[in-house]
Amino acid sequence: MANFEIKIIGCGSALPTTRHLPTSQIIDLREKIYMIDCGEGTQLQMRRMHIKFSKISHIFISHIHGDHCYGLPGLISTLGMLGRTGELMIHGPKEVEDYLRPVLQTTCNRLPYQVCFNWVDTTKHQLVMEDRSVSVYSIPLKHRIATSGYLFVEKPSEPHLISEMIDFYKIPIKELQYIKQGADYVTPEGEVIPNERLTRPADPPKRYAYCSDTAYQPEIVPIIKEVDLLYHEATFVEADLPRANQTYHSTARQAAKIAQKAGAKQLVIGHYSARYEDTALLQQEADSVFPGTILAEEGMMISLR
């Protein structure tokens, strides 16, 4: 099982089609589940992908446009029917709570768990949430309404024990946790075994940036510098740049330019306009600037390990 995996639930835009679902993603990090956005159809796609609803610990909403949040009331209701008791934390612009509170009071007023809200300042890059596995930061985006992207930064893991050396020195199990934390080992005879002889360095922490919806905004480049994976909206092709500018969205070429400027290791594009029956056109355009661009599809799983 991958330690850090992105699961694409939906990668379409506002107008419904039979080709793509509205936006939603799942971050599976060390078997903890985090959701980004929750468009209509999210629950059904999660069932198809065998994702356990009960494992969702936090939901991050980028903005209040319907294709990013209309699936929330249904999901919240389902979690109640499944017997959830632990609180659910929803992060996003203040408008998310303004929208959800009346809906929940009308349709889900007897939930067996508490829904909590953490307001995200969409004008600042700052820490939004932190637990033992990840730190999540806001990314100020440029859209028609208050919108935030999210940067997931994995917490450093412990170094790897070298099993052959552990066996050679017959190190007791109770000592292993201290060695993982950097301690040397002292044998019964008093010999000091340096930690670097017993361990290999931990894997470098991985970083994932989610940027949807947004106009072309090079100002975010320093925030997402050298991320392992960048998801960037690519609603339009370059021929429709005037429409992209009008709606504060990006073209595939602009998404690729952001990835190129940031030195991202991988780029995945999504949030396709319904006008394009062949999304390969978007991939080709991005690929000409950032070779190896990934075209998001429902059900896709991308491992950062």
**Structural domains in the chain (count):** 2
**Tokens in use for 166?**
């552990």
Q: Are residue 173 and residue 220 in the same domain, yes or no? A: no
Annotation says 67 is catalytic:
yes
In 199-251, which ranges are continuous DSSP H helix?
241-247
Q: Are residue 110 and residue 67 in the same domain, yes or no? A: yes
- CA dist 261 and 258 (Å) reads 5
Q: Are residue 189 and residue 127 in the same domain, yes or no? A: no
What residue numbers bound the domain in which 237 lies? Answer: 4-157+203-303
CATH number of the domain that residue 233 is part of: 3.60.15.10
Give me the average pLDDT of each 10-residue run along the chain (305 residues): 86 93 95 95 97 94 97 96 96 97 92 97 98 96 98 91 92 92 92 92 93 97 98 98 98 98 98 95 97 98 89
pLDDT of residue 124: 97
Among candidate residues 28, 67, 213, 228, the one labeled active-site is 67
Q: Are residue 276 and residue 140 in the same domain, yes or no? A: yes
Q: Are residue 285 and residue 165 in the same domain, yes or no? A: no
pLDDT of residue 2: 57
Q: Are residue 140 and residue 229 in the same domain, yes or no? A: yes
Q: Are residue 78 and residue 207 in the same domain, yes or no? A: yes
The DSSP 8-state label assigned to residue 12 in this structure reads B
pLDDT of residue 1: 42
Q: Are residue 169 and residue 97 in the same domain, yes or no? A: no
Q: Are residue 92 and residue 138 in the same domain, yes or no? A: yes
Task: Please report how the helices 94-107 and 72-81 are oriented relative to each other, as an axis angle in degrees rounded to 10.
Answer: 50
> Which residue, 200, 230, 258, sits at the end of a domain?
200
pLDDT of residue 242: 98
Tell me the backbone φ, ψ of residue 32, rounded to 5 degrees: -100, 145
Q: Is 41 left (phi over 0), alpha (psi -120 to 50) or beta?
A: left
pTM of the model: 0.91
Q: Are residue 233 and residue 266 in the same domain, yes or no? A: yes
pLDDT of residue 30: 84
